[in-house]
Amino acid sequence: MLRQPTHRHYNLAVMGHTEAESSLRPFKSVGRLRERDSGSNWFPVEFLTYHDEKGGVRSFAYVRKEGGGDIPDGYYLFEDELGERTFRWRKWKGKWQFGWRYRGD
C-alpha cells in the first residue's frame, strides 16, 4: 500500500521568495526619447511603469509616442518631463527593458 506524505519539507533557500504582484503601484507619466548614439531629435512619449514599495521601477506596461505611434526596437535615451534625469532604455522584440537590465541578444 502506498501512502501520501502528510507534510512536505521545502528548502526555502532554494525556492526563493516571491512578492505578490498586488504590491506594485502603477505610475503614468510623459518624457522624451531619442535613439542612443545618434544625432536624432528627441520626441515626446507617454509611458506606464510599475513600481515596488521602495519606489523602484519593476516593469513597463507600455511606452509609446504621445500621438499613439509605435516605437521600433532599439536603444534609447529617456529624459523625464523636467529634463533632469536621463536613463537608458531598450526595446527588444517588442518588450521594453531598463538600461541596467539588458538581456542577451
Position 53 in a domain: yes
Instruction: Give me the tens of pLDDT residue by residue for the chain, a chain 105 residues long.
Output: 555 555 555 555 555 555 555 588 888 888 999 998 877 889 999 988 888 888 777 788 888 998 788 899 999 988 888 877 788 888 988 888 876 544 443
Q: Mind spelling out the 3-state secondary structure of 50-105?
A: EECCCCCEEEEEEEEECCCCCCCCEEEEEEECCCCCEEEEEEECCEEEEHHHCCCC
Position 80 in a domain: yes
Number of domains in the chain: 1
Position 37 in a domain: yes
Q: How far apart are CA 54 and CA 69, in angstroms?
A: 32
Instruction: Kindly state the DSSP code that residue 85 receives in the 8-state scheme.
Output: -
Position 13 in a domain: no
Q: What pLDDT does 104 receive?
A: 43
Position 9 in a domain: no
Position 45 in a domain: yes
Q: How far apart are CA 64 and CA 49, in angstroms?
A: 12
Position 3 in a domain: no
Domain that holds residue 68: 19-101
Position 10 in a domain: no
pTM: 0.63
Provide the CA 81 distance to its chain's centre, in angstroms: 18
